[in-house]
């Protein structure tokens, strides 16, 4: 099974609206047809088609062979609630309650599938978009919002859930993950580490260094790249001349491309990669081929660089609708009825209300805390700056009293 072409995209030309948009759909369609004809597209692992049909895969079926109807519903619930939380956070930013937000819209299957493949003793190093993985690790969604509201530096204890704090520096977490994996290997633990990053981060030197160290030291780490097609406004073809998963070959470990909108395939492939790591077989690169249906962050305007028809094509592959279709085609009392979806809708609404209330109730941070963590033993210059800041703050109080 092959992936559709990612031929060069023509950006929108006019701010006046759709009438000013230049489209070269004929050229792109011809390129896609040529790739399909010549067979140059790389294959990807897929267990659920976009229509929700289960397809067999001799290599990966065994990793989901024992999945129960209850677990299938659980995966669907995970994706629905994660999307609702994400939508609520985006709305809160638009209302001025958050300074910024990085949406995962469209990437739910990649995150939930890989997140549910993890054991409790595995350790996760995320970027700043892994809200679904955080959900799988038991991190309260409201704790993800403190940093984006500017009231704390993270919001949770990484060791409580084996889920590291969000990393804003692009690609840096892959080095952290590799070092941690090398450490647990020396300790003799049989757990694994997973590092998340995007297609844009794959161009960072940190990622290449991580690949080198993990391969040489046979580190038990899975590199999980969510290829959502756009590194902010740069398409994937401007990031690499070969499919991203093939980069692993040059470092001496396996890579695999999985349908990132197929939660079952992401679950199966990640289980396989984690088992390799725990068995001492070294690192794996998983490329989850998916799509960012929203903006890069709430400060981005994707209509300036990509076409409406591109998003529409990917919406037809929506990960949640795909699993819903699969659930609805199953028969028997242990599968899904309309009551399940109604209850989930009510739970989703309740989650949205809880998130809104929690964000607005977050206390402001101690304004002077920044000075307490600069030097362990204090410093005269910091003391001077603290005094200056205190005087500046006091000036507002004086002005209000006049």
Per-residue pLDDT, 43: 85
Q: What is the mean pLDDT of the chain?
A: 89
| pLDDT mean over 143-152 | 94
Query: Could you tell me which of 211, 346, 340 has the C-alpha nearest to residue 284?
Result: 211
At residue 190, φ and ψ (nearest 5 deg) are -105, 20
What pLDDT was estimated at residue 341?
94
Q: pLDDT per residue over 362-402, tens digit each?
A: 999 898 988 988 898 889 999 999 999 999 999 987 655 55
> How far is residue 186's CA from residue 281's CA, in Å, rounded to a whole number?
14
pLDDT in tens, 339-365: 999 999 999 999 999 999 999 999 998
**Catalytically annotated residue among 292, 306, 322, 326:** 292
The answer to whether the beta carbons of residues 11 and 304 sit under 8 Å apart is yes
Q: Is 180 an annotated catalytic residue?
A: no
**How many residues does this entry show for the chain?**
402
Give the closest residue to 174 by CA, choosing from 144, 138, 205.
205
Matching residue, tokens 């350790």 = 123
Q: Is 292 among the catalytic positions?
A: yes
> 239 near 204, Cβ under 8 Å?
no
pLDDT (tens digit per residue) in 9-20: 344 433 334 333
DSSP β-bridge partners for residue 194? 124, 222
Active-site residue flag, 296? yes
Residues 6+ apart with CB under 8 A from 66: none
Please identify which of the residues 77, 217, 278, 305 carries the catalytic annotation: 305
CB-based burial, 82-109: b 16+ in 10 Å, e otherwise: bbbbbbbbbbbbeeebbeebbbbbbbbb
pLDDT at 41 over 70: no
pLDDT in tens, 172-211: 999 999 999 999 999 999 999 999 999 999 999 999 999 9
Gap between the Cα atoms of 400 and 383, Å rounded = 26
Give the chain's radius of gyration (CA, Å).
Answer: 23
Which one of 164, 247, 276, 296 is the catalytic residue?
296
Count Cα atoms within 13 angstroms, Cβ side, for 383. 5
Q: Which residue is listed with tokens 């990437």?
A: 107
**pLDDT at residue 116 tops 80:** yes
153-182 per-position pLDDT tens digit: 888 999 999 999 999 999 999 999 999 999
Tell me the C-alpha distance between 273 and 352, whole Å.
34
Tokens of 119: 């054991």
């Amino acid at each position: 099974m092959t992936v559709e072409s990612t031929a060069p995209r023509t950006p929108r030309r006019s701010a006046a609206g759709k009438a000013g948009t230049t489209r070269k759909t004929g050229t792109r369609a011809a390129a896609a047809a040529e790739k399909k004809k010549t067979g140059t597209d790389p294959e990807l692992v897929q267990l659920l088609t976009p229509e929700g049909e289960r397809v067999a895969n001799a290599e990966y079926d065994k990793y989901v062979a024992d999945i129960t109807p209850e677990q299938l519903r659980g995966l669907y619930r995970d994706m629905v609630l994660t999307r609702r939380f994400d939508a609520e956070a985006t709305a809160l930013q638009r209302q001025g309650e958050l300074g910024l937000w990085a949406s995962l819209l469209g990437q739910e299957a990649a995150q939930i599938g890989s997140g549910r493949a993890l054991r409790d003793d595995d350790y996760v190093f995320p970027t700043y978009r892994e809200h679904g993985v955080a959900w799988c690790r038991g991190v309260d969604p409201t704790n993800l919002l403190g940093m984006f509201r500017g009231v704390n530096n993270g919001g949770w204890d990484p060791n409580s859930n084996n889920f590291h704090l969000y990393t804003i520096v692009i690609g840096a977490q892959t080095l952290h993950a590799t070092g941690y994996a090398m450490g647990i290997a020396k300790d003799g633990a049989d757990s694994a580490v997973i590092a998340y990053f995007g297609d844009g981060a794959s161009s960072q030197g940190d990622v290449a260094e991580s690949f080198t160290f993990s391969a040489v030291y046979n580190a038990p780490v899975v590199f999980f790249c969510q290829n959502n097609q756009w590194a902010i406004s740069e398409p994937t073809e401007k990031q690499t001349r070969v499919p991203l998963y093939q980069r692993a070959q040059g470092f001496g470990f396996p890579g695999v491309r999985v349908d990132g909108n197929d939660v079952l395939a992401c679950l199966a492939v990640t289980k396989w990669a984690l088992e390799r790591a725990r068995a001492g077989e070294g690192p794996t690169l998983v490329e989850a081929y998916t799509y960012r249906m929203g903006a890069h962050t709430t400060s981005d305007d994707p209509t300036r660089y990509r076409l409406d028809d591109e998003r529409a094509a990917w919406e037809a592959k929506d990960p949640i609708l795909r699993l819903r279709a699969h659930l609805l085609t199953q028969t028997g009392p242990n599968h899904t009825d309309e009551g399940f979806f109604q209850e989930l809708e009510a739970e989703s609404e309740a989650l949205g209300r809880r998130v809104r209330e929690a964000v607005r109730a977050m206390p402001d941070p101690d304004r002077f805390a920044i000075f307490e963590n600069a030097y362990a033993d204090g410093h005269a210059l910091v003391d001077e700056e603290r005094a200056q800041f205190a005087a500046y703050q006091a000036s507002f109080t004086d002005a209000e009293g006049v």
